[in-house]
Amino acid sequence: MKTRILTIAILLFTALTALSGNKMDNLFDQVKSLPYANYIHQKLDKSKSKGQGAIEGIKSIETVKVSIDKSTYETLWKEITQGDYSPYESVIEANDNEEVVKIFTKAAKKKIVEVVIVELGKDEISLVKLKGNLKSEMFNK
């Protein structure tokens, strides 16, 4: 009987972990759910973005910004600095006393499909996610 309960518990945990999505989406959801979070999700019209430099290829922009208290800051600091955000790759990271800035990319074949910017200060957090078909050459200039 104990083995069955343990087996069911392990299966349930595995299923919940698989359904929970990736860690970056979880971070966005966690920050969006904070009180007074300012969340914006904008889909861009392809016809208006042609030829506008860095905007070209971006299909949507998602941002969230919120003021935080000390305990939320400490929780987010640990999660952001020690977390594994696979399949995202950290391309830039800057830590300065109580502030951390990270830029992540998610690639598919020879294109970058997402860029995520995470900025955590002692009294606020800002997240920006750009989705689309971004050519790697854009980031090599």
Residue ranges of the domains in the chain?
22-139
**Percentage of the residues of the chain whose pLDDT score is greater than 90:** 52
Averaged pLDDT, 108-122: 91
Specify the pTM: 0.76
pLDDT of residue 44: 82
How far apart (Å, rounded) are the C-alpha atoms in residues 24 and 71?
20
Interval 29-80: pLDDT, tens:
999 999 999 999 998 876 554 555 456 788 899 999 999 999 999 999 999 9
Question: Mean of the per-residue pLDDT values for the chain?
Answer: 81
Straight-line distance from the first to the last Cα atom of the chain, in angstroms, rounded to the nearest whole number: 62
Contact 128, 61 (CB under 8 A): yes
